[in-house]
Amino acid sequence: MKATIDFDRQLYRRLKIEAARRGRTIRDLVQEGVRLVLGVAAPSGSPSRAPEETPWFGSLREYAARGGGRHDLAAVRRSIARKRGRGP
């Protein structure tokens, strides 16, 4: 089932960074958090994307580690361009 959740901007940024750092999706972390609050175990064999299935997570993890408080779209694009050898 799908749901729409409104997050505080800073909280959502931290969530994105943590997901990237762990090599997981935001959906995974939100579901894990809800399970913790409700005291419900994850279903056995529940599908969870491995970082190998989403290779761009490695770039996000690297970007999050550098941090520096710059999480705007322009900074992300510059970081991706540098990684690809096309930027400053």
pLDDT tens digits, one per residue of 27-81: 999 999 998 898 888 777 665 555 444 555 566 666 666 665 556 677 777 777 8
CB 20 within 8 A of CB 60: yes
Residues 61 and 21 sit within 8 Å (Cβ to Cβ): yes
Q: How far is CA 7 from the centre of its chain?
A: 14
Tell me the whole-structure pTM to 2 decimals.
0.49
Burial class from Cβ neighbours inside 10 Å (0-12, 13-18, 19+) for residue 57 reads buried
